[in-house]
Amino acid sequence: MTSIADSSVIIQTSSHSVPSTPSWFGEVVLIIEHLRKQGILTKLSERMRFRRRRFGHYEVIDFLAVLFGYAISGECTLEAFYERLQPFAVPFMALFERDRLPARSTLSRFLMALTEAPVEALRCLFLDDLLSRPLSKEGQTGGLVDREGAAWMVFDIDGTREAARQRALPQTEALPPVFRRLDEICAPGYTGRKRGEIVRTRTVISQAHTSQWLGSFGNRGNGLYRVELRQALWAIGRYLAAHQLSQEHALLRFDGQYGTGAVLADLAGFSFVMRGKDYTVLDHPLVQARLHLPPDQLQHRPESLLVRSLYDCPDVPVGPEGVHCRVVVATHPAGKKKSRVGVTREGIVYELFFTRLPQQGFTASDVVEVYLHRGAFESALADEDVEQDPDRWCSQSSSGQECWQIVAQWVWNLRLELGHQLHPDPVRTTEFAPALPPVHKEATDSPSPSQGYAPAAVALPWKASRFSGQDFALQPDGTLRCPAGQSLVAHERRREADGSLRVVYAASILSCRPCPLRQQCQWQGNATKKPRQVSVLLHPLAVGSQPILWRDWSRRRHRRACMQLLRGQRVEVQTAPSLPTAPDRPALLLSRAQRAHYRLDWSERLVRNARASPSGQVTVRLFGVPEGFATSLGLATA
């Protein structure tokens, strides 16, 4: 021992090594004890079975213990995790009732050899655990309440990718072929990636009101987004069945990757809102005719000076499949730079939004706002990357990487659940969109009603035995076509007392005077003093007057309450010496099956690395744990 004396400070050193407990060890203890109380560790041992090769005495639960600890720790690499864990390997594995910690190379071989069947069993257990307990003890549920008072459960589906850099290597006949370790799980992604980068894309599903993950499905390169979408719908269907909700009131939010008619055909029975990328919809006659009429609404964003003009088309076929849905077209003038979203035609940027939300509950502006609100999902992905980063490379095999990503999402959900036990806050309600004012109270000079317009209606019959307004068809170019084939052009717009907008179309006098059908068209028959005029009426849309409400819980508050509970607290770990074994142990009797080297059954395999009874007692003392929280986990309090 060395002592350095000072007038006010005494510094002492020792050659004896005493490793400090990792800051995350206390959280590992809490989460694993919670899993033990729920019976998850037993289910993992019984249901996730895998025919192993070259794993020694280890079983699947041993490797899952490492992955759970790795996800909770937040260490950047497995190497760093093993370095911090090594002095505490015995108490760490004792939490799982296991004996020895698998080496890093053994874990790598396990993940490399893992097949799809045990991964799917793990995925089912992950979803079963999520659905077995409500997030709030009060039984409260979040949701989106539309203007008619109907409740919707919102789910976000999107893709996230992780890139890997590869060196450029020469390829000649004198050199052996290049072997890339990540070729099985990665492939070149979208054009524009950096040189040498390959990617793996996974589709993730989030419950927007609780911020819980429902699943993760990954594939090489850009992924198989339609295959992954079907798997996501299966997970959402199970969630809805567990909460006794119907598909009709489940709202799915997608990005532009899914905005095609082929994807819409896969979403039968679900409501959705997504950004469309099939811009051939703009050429449809119904859409073209609507674009030549006044916009339904003008949308202003508080963080931008951009003003969008919104056109609501309630029933438009999309794609070669002809799937009918509601289409909202948003337009704004093009800027100096090329717009990254939408298509530009004649100085106007057009954006498409596909949805099945009813017009009675959501205006066109509401539809766009609901879609843009999915930006909160992007921040959830960012938080995930910072805390545990499930996109980091943990294995060079597809199944091994999927196993790691499921465990990472499981830890996220467990932190949310335990955070709610620490801070059982009630569901919060936000006014997503204010209530609509009555039509008669709006200003007469308002460019459009706050609720939008119903489909355009031509004026009522005009005179007996004369052509009525129904005989004048609205054309895609914004004109009316009369029975004689002549065009009527809009020349006047005026607001009516009931809030309707009247658009007056008139023909040319040069076309009406020589027309052979003027006897059936003009008021006074052959006398043609004025050209024929026809009115098109845009009545205010019948929409509920209630405000749109968004009900959810705080995502970061509860999750970080669990993470930060013990990070700054002291953790004491004591391991008692092992009990001495009897010197005169009887000889081990072998069965005929063991003598013949038959395969061990599942229970015999599991026992090989089980913690033996003579092993020393492990005592972990946690400080700073609230008594009520410790009691709920079944932990003893001092």
The model's pLDDT over 496-541, given as tens digits with 9 standing for 90+, comes to: 877 788 888 888 888 888 888 877 777 666 666 778 888 888 888 8
Q: What are the beta bridge partners of residue 330?
A: 310, 351
Kindly indicate the confidence band of residue 27, based on its pLDDT and cuts at 50, 70 and 90: very high
What does the pLDDT look like over 554-573, one tens digit per residue?
A: 888 888 889 899 998 999 88
**368 pLDDT above the threshold of 80:** yes
> Residue 451: what pLDDT?
77
CA distance 603 to 141: 41
Q: Which of 387, 402, 384 is nearest to 27 (CA)?
A: 387
Span 57-78, mean pLDDT? 92
Q: How does pLDDT run across 381-434, given as a tens digit for each residue?
A: 788 777 777 778 888 899 999 999 999 999 999 999 999 999 888 889 999 999
Tell me which of 91 and 537 has the higher pLDDT.
91
Q: Is residue 478 part of a domain?
A: yes
Enclosing H/E stretch for 297: strand 297-300
> How would residue 271 be classed by pLDDT, with cut points 50, 70 and 90?
very high
Instruction: Please check whether residue 131 lies inside any domain of the structure.
Output: no
> Per residue in 279-337, pLDDT tens?
999 999 999 999 988 898 898 887 777 889 999 999 899 988 888 999 999 999 988 88
Are the C-beta atoms of residues 252 and 271 closer than 8 Å to each other?
A: yes
- The torsion angles phi and psi of 229, rounded to 5 degrees, stand at -65, -40
**DSSP assignment string, 448-497:** S-TT-BPSPEEPPP-STTS--GGGSEEPTTS-EE-TTS-EEEEEEEEE-T
pLDDT value of residue 588: 61
Least confident of 174-178, 280-284, 449-453, 552-556: 449-453
The count of C-alpha atoms lying within 13 angstroms of the C-alpha of 525, restricted to the half-sphere facing its C-beta, is 1
Nearest Cα to Cα of residue 324 among 383, 378, 281, 370:
281
Confidence (pLDDT) at 599:
67
- Domain membership of residue 493 (yes or no) is yes
- Is 467 a member of any domain? yes
The residue segments making up the domain with residue 463 are 455-538
The model's confidence at residue 578, banded by pLDDT at 50, 70 and 90, is: low
Q: Tell me: pLDDT of 53 over 70.
A: no
Q: Which residues contact 105 (CB under 8 A, 6 or more apart)?
A: none
Tell me which of 590 and 292 has the higher pLDDT. 292
Position 471 in a domain: yes
What beta strand segments (E) does 461-590 contain? Answer: 473-474, 480-481, 487-495, 501-506, 533-538, 548-552, 571-575
In a domain, 571, yes or no: no
d(CA 80, CA 101): 15
- Has residue 338 got a pLDDT over 90? no
pTM of the full predicted structure? 0.87
Among 38-47, 174-183, 187-196, 198-207, which is the least confidently predicted range?
187-196
**pLDDT for position 54:** 58
Contact 582, 539 (CB under 8 A): no
More confident site: 203 or 595: 203
Q: Determine the pLDDT at residue 550.
A: 94
Closest listed residue to residue 96, CA positions, set 577, 488, 610:
610
* Residue 511 falls inside a structural domain: yes
What is the count of structural domains for the chain?
1
Q: Which of 3, 161, 23, 85 is nearest to 566 (CA)?
A: 23
Among 13-22, 89-98, 138-147, 349-358, the least confident range: 138-147
Query: In the chain, pLDDT over 90 holds for what percent of residues?
Result: 37
Classify residue 431: in a domain, yes or no: no
**Residue that wins the pLDDT comparison between 239 and 614:** 239
Query: Does position 239 have pLDDT exceeding 90, yes or no?
Result: yes
CA dihedral 514, 520, 524, 530 (to 10 degrees): -50
pLDDT of residue 514: 82
Per-residue pLDDT band at 71 (split at 50, 70, 90): very high
CA–CA gap between residue 558 and residue 137 (Å, rounded): 14
Mean residue pLDDT of the chain comes to 85
CB atoms within 10 A of CB 531: 18
Task: Yes or no: say if 266 and 233 are a contact pair by the CB < 8 Å rule.
Answer: yes
What is the CA 66 to chain-centroid distance, rounded?
27
Q: How many residues does the chain have?
A: 638
What HEC string does 336-391 produce?
CCCCCCCEEECCEEEEEEEECCCCCCCCHHHHHHHHHCCHHHHHHHHHHHHHCCCC
- Report the pLDDT value the prediction gives residue 583, as an integer from 0 to 100: 57
CA distance 332 to 347: 9
